[in-house]
Each structure stands twice: as structure tokens, then as C-alpha cells.
Structure 1
Amino acid sequence: MLPRTRTLVRSMTFVAATAVAAGSLAACSESAEQVPSIGYAIDNSISTYNANTTAGSVSGAMAAFGRVLPGFTFTGPAGAPVSDTDIGTASELPGDVLTVSYKLNPASVYSDGIPMSCDDLVLTWAASSGKFTKDVDGAAKPMFDTANNLGYADIDRIDCQSGSKDATVFFKPGRSFTDWRSLFGATALMPSHIVTQRAGVGDVVSAVNAGDTDALSKIADFWNTGWNLTPGQVDTSVLPSAGPYRIDSYSADDGLVLVANERWWGNKPATDRIVVWPRGVNLTEDLDKNSIEVVDVASGSAGELGTPSGFDVQQIPSRSIEQFVLATSGSLGDEAARRAFAHCVPRTTLFEKFGQTENAPQAGLGSGVVDSRLMAPDSLVYSDAAAVDGDRYANADVDAAKTSLSEADLDQLTVRVGYLAPDPVRAQIVSEAKAACAPAGITIEDASTDSFDPASLQSGGVDAVLSGMAGKVGAGGTASMIDARGALRSGNGANLGTYGNARIDQIIDQLNVDASTSAQLGLSVEAENILWTQVPTIPLFNQLRTVAVAPGMSAVLVNPTRAATGWNMDRWVLRR
């Protein structure tokens, strides 16, 4: 873990913006000399190469490795999947059952010289489908510690001849996953040949087709932890790239160094070297000494940056929702106790202080407190789903909180809130909640640490996690809200509070296959009625992101989703 040496405040001079930039944040002079390396700072740790595990999904892996491990699509600035034909093509085939033909680019090869193959797709499906289980204390538990199986669980089978560039994916009858283009996207495809080498098995396809429990268990063991990253102890032989960049090194002093992948078959990266600086670097010093040229962080999370000379700065609402994720056991095991906590959280005040831009829009992202967990604020049915709250939880209501405590047979309640520190904004959110809840007999404790793991919610280490969507510390979210839905679906790793409701599971499953407005409206309203009663989470507002770009930079395009601004880092150019 990188040392957290920095204390920063929220007084950066912002060039406020409420929409995604359509062009580059900074222009450059063609007559200036191009700089061969660019520094890119994010607000999350990078602890694994595998963004698909539970731990990887809440880390900065998606923000760091989008152009190291690309897929058939990437998440574009509007939040929807965009085809990446350098990797291959995906085409829907005619028929009553959703069937998709995937064809990898014939030139596609990993940086270690091993060709990409449909085995990589089979590995992704095997890991994320939830299909393969093991017995743990008499219960069937998934072998793979995947964060979200929505969409992949709807796949019936994949026809793939091991080593081939072609695969045909057959979905289950009645399970035409509407967001299928997001599957097998950037950071989802991991190098299957590394898994089979390290696990000591023949190939993934044979193991899956045969249901070989022993082989699959070995594959899962490596997939779960074999790609973990520790600065200063990185084995690049297990980290081959299929993108324009590959990992060269990773250390606390020098950051995560990405260099041009010599085997990349697409357009050569415009800059040969990108250094990704995870959470914990001293932004103030590094901005001043010109070692960081692009910053993408939650507004205020790094504290006071000052006013970087010549930097173009934007502050925009993202697709990630800042929220409290609540345990469904322990002190918050009773839904009435969770309602009590929700009643005393000053959600409107928190939005006004930490989620509102200077020129906030009247509707859509960043327009106000977020009142739906399953529908995006810019979706057609959001206003109806959000109306279910009826402003019951808009402001701190001490009397309502006391009434709910009484319903839980409690006189008082203690809620330990965890988050990754230091984070000045989240610290202030907890402080505001503490002050608002105290009159109701609810004690809020700040349980943040500089090594906080959201999984401690399940182990009883904390009672609530303050985070973005699906427990993410940094960038998050898509237009389809697939991560948010997965975080409330029982059995998913991203469901940090282990919330379970059979009807919510049914609703989420139906939302994912029926895109009609009538279905989305009726199902989302029904869901929010349940969720505002059982309160597994307390949504606050669309997380604000601050993107700062040095003078002389070009082609930096803000992406307020889980892909983050680094989604097109291979096009960045810096001239001085």
C-alpha cells in the first residue's frame, strides 16, 4: 500500500461544469516538444490486476487497466458500452433465444506472445456466472469470488473450441439480457493461459465443459488471488496485456508504470509511458513539480489542492452514487433500526454541501438528492421511482428516528461507519450525520482507517460503509445501473451488506431483461417501496468528480463512470 502522506482541503478553484466535456480539457501547442511520460492520479488503491473479484471491483483496477486489459466494449463518457473493434466484434444472431457471435481480432495477442482466444471468454463466464460452487460447511458457495454475476448468470453456454478466435454465446430462454454489450468489456477479459499455467490444468474450456470440479477449483483459486498486486513485489510474467499499454513496474516511490505494449496491433499509443498514481500520493507536491498532469478524484477527497498553475479544472456529477451501505445483521439487523438511522441522516444538507455544483441542473445527474437505487437520475422513469420516498428521508427527522428505534425495541443505537481514510469529505459527512443523529439517541462513530476494506461490513467490523456505488471508493457507475443492481442482488459479492429479498431479486432479474418503459416504471416503483422500508442502503447524491488537466495536454476527455478519465489514455499527448 502506498503511504498516505497527504492532507488536502476542499478549496480548489473550480471551473464548474455539469456535463461531460465534449472535447479535450486542455489544448496544446503543436510547436512545443512532446513529453514522453504523463502522470495520472486517481483516488483509489490498486491492489489487484483482476477488477472482477469482490476486492478488485471496489479498487482502482477499472480506472487503471482499461487500456491494459481491453474488451469488446468500453464504458464511454455517456455511461453506455461502446464497441472496441481492435479487440473484436460482437453480433447478435437471429432467433428466439438471445445468441451472440464473438469474433476476436485475428491479430489479437497478449504481450507475452500468446494469442487471445475464446478461452478468455469462457474463463470470464465461468468466474462470473455463479454456476460453479463448492461445499462450505454444508452449503454451496461460489468457487469464484466474483463481484457481480448479472448478465453472465443469464448465459446458458458458450460454444468455443479451445484456442479459437470465435465463440458463440447462448443465453437462457427468456433471459435476453438487455445490456449484453457490456459483457466481456474492458477489464473483464483476463488471460486464461496464465490461469491454466499457474493452476496446473489443461485448459479452461475442457474443465468447464466437463464440469471438472478439481480443475475448476484450482482455476478459481488463482483467479481469486493470483493477480493481487503489492507495490515493489510485482511479477510481470503473470500480467500480460492485451491492450496498448502493459505494466512495466509498480512501486510506492515510482507508481504504477505503464509502457507501450510492443505487441499491440492497433494504433500505437500517442505517449509511450503513463504513470498511474494511486490514492496516497502527495498531489500538492507532485502537481507543483510537474510529475502529475491528469487528476481524477472525488471532489474534496484529497483535501486542499490549491490552484494548480494553468490547469484546466472541471467538477462534474458522476454516475456513482455516494451512499451508506448498511449491514443487515448486528446492531442494524432489524429493518426498523436501519430506518431509524435513515431518518436522522440529513440527506438534503449533505447534497447541498458535498453534492451540488455551482450551476446544478434542474434534472438528471447532480440535480438533487438521489432517491432511487435502481434507476439513474437521467432515466425516463427515475422521477416516478424516486417519488416513492415521498421526502420521508429527505431531512433529519428526530421524531421519526425515535419512533423507528422504538419499533426495533431500542432506546439507543450505535452505528460504526467505515471508509478509506484520509478523506476529508467523507469525514465531514460522518460528522454531519453524527450531529444530526445524536438527539435521536443514535451514536455515529467514525471507524475509518487508511487500510479500510469494505468486506469488514460482512465480518462485523463496522455497521455501515460510506462509499460510492457498490462499495467503490473512487470512480464508479454506468448508465444501466448494473453495478448498483448487482449490489442489491442476493448472492453477489458486491452485496456488501448481504441484503436478501426474494422479490427484489425477481425485480432486478426482470429489469435486466425487459427494457420497456412500462416494465421499468412498474418494477422500479415496486422495488423502491420495498427498499425504502427495509433500507439496505441510504443513497445520498451523485458523487462529484474533480478532473484537473495540466497545460499542454490534449485529448483528455472526462468520463464520469467506472472507466474514469483514463479510458482513452492511449490518445493523451503532453507538449511543453
Structure 2
Amino acid sequence: MTIRRRYAAISAVAAGALLMAGCGSAGGGGKASPTAEKLADSITIGLELAPDGYNSYTAATNSAYDQYIDNLTQRQFAQVQPDATIKADKAFGTYKKVSDDPLTVKYTFAKDAVWSDGVPLDFDDVLLAWASSSGNYPSGQTDPAGNPVDIFNTASTNGWAEIEKPQGKAGDKSFTLVYKSPYADWETVADYFMPAHIAAEQGGMSSANNGAELIKAIEDDDIAALKPVAKFWNEGWLYQENLPSLPDPKLIPTIGPYKYDNASNGTLTLVRNDKWWGPKAKTEKIVFKTINVDEAVQALQNGEIDSFDPSNPTGDMVKQLADLGAAAKVDKGQSFAFSHVDFDSRAKGVFHDIKVRQAFLKCVPRKELVDKFAKPIYAKSTVLDLREYLPAQAEYKEVLAGVPEAKKYADVDLPGAKALLADAGVKTPLKVRFIYSSSSTLRADQLALIKASCDQAGFSVQAKPDPDLFTTLTHPGEFDAAVFGWSGSGLIASGQSIYVTGGAQNYGGYSDKKVDDLWTEIVKTTDRAKVVPLKTEMEEELWVNPYNVVLYPNPGVTAFASSLKGPAYNPTQYGSTWNAETWTKTLD
């Protein structure tokens, strides 16, 4: 399955047939701690791909697998919960909105907040976070589209680009962020910090006096002085392919309940961070082991791993997990990732005419797609009728009640589709070049069902497997329709670039003034409750003037040994390790 994050590309690994062999009890190794409860001192979590780097905020490292590690090593002021609500982490520090005009937020790190090497977490770390993700330091080069390239290769400038340069002095534990304009997701902007003292030293600066030299370079906008720092920020924390080892431990301190211990052959071991000032992690070691997804169930059965989150669960996998019986637990649900069909609706595109788009919506067998590809994994899977809200979110039903246009496309209506094509005056059968990831059998199977239905309505769907789908999507005129997935965090503003005119992720050239105007208001609305009616109106317009065909929320699975306590399915992109510091494993 091809899934793309709303702010950075990530291709999910396609799951194949899983082999079951031998006998054993689910659950990884680990000796007992000297307690009456007989708890293991380690828990092993399976990953389909090895993490890319310590700094997961670069464009090269912003993957789900890096996020699973960061959940335990890089804490922040607020965390997105499995239900998409935001919860302040009071152990990390405090924050308070002190003004709406301009939007101003005051933060204070906990007084005991230090990196695992003992260096205080303070103002130089804040200023480096702003510098690296604000897009304010051009390198003098441009990308193929002619846009200036920043010296920091950040995955996203969302939020930070809206903030004035933070003011403060070396060693300050408190800082204030002042926004140039209101920003809806302000609570989650200060969500990462890299060790400024390491970046400064590796960039040829002194880290003495609480990072005074780096602070001055950023305050003075000294790009020449910052380039070596940026080079290390971009590249110095990258891991070698398949993680044969870790960088020098001195270069990778943490600010979470765990710190790095060692890595070998794709297996990464974290140990309790003795400098962590928050609640103590319940298990001494967390081990991340890279596994072949085709062998994941067997690895769980044989005790090689204790838990895993398959990126692309299948009906066969769910059945094989069920066959493990009481040895394993399986938690399932509808995720924040969803499958959809996008159109090229530019002036010369096949789907420029609104009636042609409406006709295609009427012929896509959405219920059949759910029955065949989603329900075998999660029986409660449903058709998706919204784009910015998913069934896993509390607001879904409320918003859907205000979107009556969606009901027009609840069922396949081939006569209605034919009539719309006739009204549009197009010659039938209307050829549609339909691209999908060539590595995904799921997308090929989905497309086969769509073709079987829509060809009866007057379309001629031409399947075009593509080895580089997302590159093709950026080339106007090379496709008519595409099936792929979006993965989101449940935040307010992350989808803007998908739907607005000229948006970087609006691959089909869709344009609707009402949608544009609503997004302008949405991203400036800092009260989440007031966003709901705005997005409800936008969701209706995205059906009235169809943007795409939404299919269904991708079903998700978390599987873990019955000896574990704590894991639970998390539909967001943060995965099940969002609370892994609370996990324990009992021994027989």
C-alpha cells in the first residue's frame, strides 16, 4: 500500500503471505527483574524498516519508524493522543497562550530538564529549532522549480515559518513564541528539539556559556557561520543503511524516558535514561528489531519480538494472528490513513468538467472496496465520506451530519453516471489513464474493481502501474486519475496544501475559491471548536465541486504478546509506541 504523510513522503511496506511454522509462546526475551511481579527487564518491538537517523526532522529521515523511536527519546510540551486530542506533558514543561493578537505563547522547560549527557535543555535548543525549520536561511541555491533552498534540509516549515525569531539569552529556561499571524496548530509547534550544544560543536563552534556563540550567529543571521552547523544537522546524525551500528553515543543525547545504548544489524537498544526528570520508564530496555514483514507473525509466535504494527495488514495476517490463540493479543481499528482516488482537474484534464468528476464518483464501488479489502482486517470498517475528519475522531459524525452532498454518492449509480457524461458532452468511452504504485498488489486489485464498474458507465479505465508514483503526480498531464493514501496526525492545518489552489500536495490542480477562503480562515483559527463548522462547510464544498473520491479509512492492527501490559492500537501516525515507557512484560 502506498501511503503518504501530509507533510513528508513515506512509502509503507507491502505485506505479503506470512509463513507459520513450529511451536512456541509469543513474547521476546528478557530476564526477570528482582521483583515479586517477575517482570522482564526488556521488551522487543518489531519494525519493518530500520530507522534512518537520530534527527528525524530532516526531509531524508521523517519516517514512521523514526517516530516510533522518538516517542521514547524526544519528548515535547504537548502530545497528540490516539483520539487526536492534544495533551500537555507537564513533566516536560509548561506553556500558556498569553495573547491572541498577536498570537503569543510562553513556554518554560522543567527546571530539571537536561539532555541525557547532563547539559541543560534551554534557549540555544529553542533557537536552533526555529532556525532549522523556519526557512529563513537561504543557501543561495534553488530547486528545480526555482524556489530558494534553505541551508537546513527540514521536513517541514509548518508553524515555525509563522513565528518571529525567538528572543532570549543563553541559559534561559523560559521563552516566548510570537506568531506573525494566528496558527491553528500552535499547541504542537514546539514539538521537537535537537541538542544545540552538539550541533554547535560539530559545526566548529564553542558550546560554552550555554551556547552563546550559536545564539549570536542565529541572532545575527550569520549564514556563513551557520552553514557548518546546518550541514551537521542535515547529515551528521544520519544512520548507515540498515543500521549496522550507532554514531558516537556522545553525539546522540536524549530528552525522554530512554536513551540510546547500542545498535547492530538493524537492532536498536534503548535503556532507561537516568537523567530523565519525568516518570521513570517501567521496563529497563526497549529493543527495536528490524524484521521481514512476511515473518512477523512467526517472530511473535517464536518469541523473537513482543509487539509489532504492520504497515499494511492483510486478511491472511489477521487470520494467522488469530491462530496464535491466547499467546497473542490483536487490537484493530480504523486508522488516520485513508485510501482515495485523485483527479487531474486542470483546464485540459480529463476531469476538468465537474459533471465528469461527478460521474466517476457515481461509478466507483466504494462499499464493495470496503467489503473486499478493509472488512477482512477490521470488521467494522466503513466507507469514508469526509476528508479532514476520520471515523477514529470524535467529530466525525457531527461533521458528516452537516455534509448532505456526500449522501448522493453512497451507492453505485451507473445510469446516473451515464447521464452526467451525456450532459457533459464528452465522447464515450472516455479514456482515463489511471496510475498506481507498481509495488502494491492492493492498489492493483482496487483498480480492477473500479475499472469493472466504471467501464460500464462510459469510461475506459487504463491501468498504469508506476514505479515512482509521487514523481509522476508532480508532472501535470501525465495522469488522469491516481489511487494512493494519505496519512495524517489529526492536526488542523496539515491538509491545507492538499486542497488549496496551487498547494504543494494538490497534484491534480483542483481550484475552488470557497475552499481557498475557508482554509484561510481555518489555519488562523486557534480555537479548535470553532474549526469544526468551518471544516464542515469546506467538506460539503469538496463534494459539491468534487475534489476526489474518498474510499475508506485504512484498517490498522497492533499485535502483541499476551504477556505484555500497556500496548493499545493507536490510529495516528505516532503508532503504538506512543506510551511504551509504561509497558511491562510478565514472565512465567
Determine the structure 2 residue equivalent to 1:169: 177
**1:303–1:424 Cα contact (<8 Å) kept:** no
State which of 269, 275, 283 in structure 2 corresponds to 1:271: 283
Match of 1:550 in 2: 561
The residue identity in structure 2 corresponding to 1:228 is: L
Q: 2:30 is matched with which residue?
A: none
Q: Distance in 1 between matches of 2:157 and 2:501?
A: 10
Counterpart selection for 2:369 from 344, 347, 350: 350
Greater relative contact order (Cα 8 A, min sep 6): structure 1 or 2?
1
* Structure-2 separation of matches of 1:519 and 1:356: 31
- Superposed, 1:38-437 pairs within 5 Å as 38-42=43-47, 46-94=51-99, 96-133=101-138, 134-136=140-142, 139-143=146-150, 144-173=152-181, 175=182, 177-185=183-191, 188-200=192-204, 205-216=215-226, 218-229=228-239, 230-237=241-248, 238-251=251-264, 253-278=265-290, 280-281=292-293, 282-298=295-311, 300-301=313-314, 303-304=316-317, 306=320, 307-310=323-326, 311-324=328-341, 335-336=352-353, 344-356=363-375, 368-377=382-391, 378-379=394-395, 381-384=398-401, 386-392=403-409, 395=412, 397=414, 399=418, 411-418=430-437, 421=439, 425-426=442-443, 428-437=445-454
In 2, the alpha carbon distance for the partners of 1:53 and 1:464 equals 30
Secondary structure of 1:156's aligned partner: coil
Counterpart CA distance in 1 for 2:260 and 2:419 is 53
Larger mean Cα displacement after TM superposition, 226-235 or 81-90: 226-235
8 Å contact from structure 2 (residues 50, 243) kept in 1: no
Supply the AA of the counterpart residue of 1:442: V
C-alpha contact (below 8 Å) 1:316/1:544 kept by paired residues? yes
Amino acid at match of 2:334: P
TM-score, normalised relative to structure 2 = 0.76
Q: Which shows bigger deviation, 332-341 or 33-42?
A: 332-341
Residues 291-326 of structure 1: per-residue CA shift (max 9 Å, x gap):
221222356249525122421222112233333466
Q: Deviations over 1:253-295 (max 9, x none)?
A: 4533323234323333211222224573420221121122122
Instruction: Write the distance in 2 (CA, Å) between the matches of 1:356 and 1:483.
Output: 28
- Contact 2:435–2:483 (8 Å) recurs in 1: no
Cα distance, 1:73 vs. partner? 1.5
- Structure 1 length as normaliser, TM-score? 0.77
Aligned in 2, Cα 1:138/1:53: closer, same or farther, shift over 3 Å? closer
CA distance in 2, matches of 1:522, 1:178: 12
What residue number does 1:24 align with? none
Q: Bigger radius of gyration, 1 or 2?
A: 2
In 2, Cα distance between the equivalents of 1:217 and 1:490? Answer: 34
Counterpart code for 1:75: V
Q: Which amino acid aligns with 2:562?
A: P
**Percent identity for Structure 1 against Structure 2:** 22
Q: Is the contact between residue 434 and residue 464 of structure 2 (CA under 8 Å) also seen in structure 1? A: yes
- 1:458 match: 474
Q: Secondary structure at the match of 2:494?
A: helix
Task: Indicate the residue corresponding to 1:7 in structure 2.
Answer: 16
Question: Is the 1:301–1:424 Cα contact (8 Å) retained in structure 2?
Answer: no
Distance 1:122 1:35, change over 3 A: same
Root-mean-square deviation over aligned CA pairs: 4.2
Aligned equivalent of 1:568: 579
Determine if contact 2:557/2:569 at 8 Å carries over to the other structure.
Answer: no
For residue 502 of structure 1, report the CA deviation from its aligned partner.
8.2
Aligned equivalents of 2:315, 2:287: Cα separation in 1:
19
User: Structure 1 counterpart of 2:219, which letter?
Assistant: N
User: Residue 539 of structure 1 aligns with which residue?
Assistant: 550
Q: Is the 8 A contact 1:41 1:277 kept in 2?
A: yes
Distance 1:154 1:529, change over 3 A: same
Partners of 1:506 and 1:227 in 2: how far apart?
41
Match of 2:7 in 1: none
Q: Distance in 1 between matches of 2:290 and 2:424?
A: 41
Structure-1 residue corresponding to 2:5? none
Q: How far did 1:166 drift? A: 1.8
Q: 1:372 is matched by which residue type in structure 2?
A: L
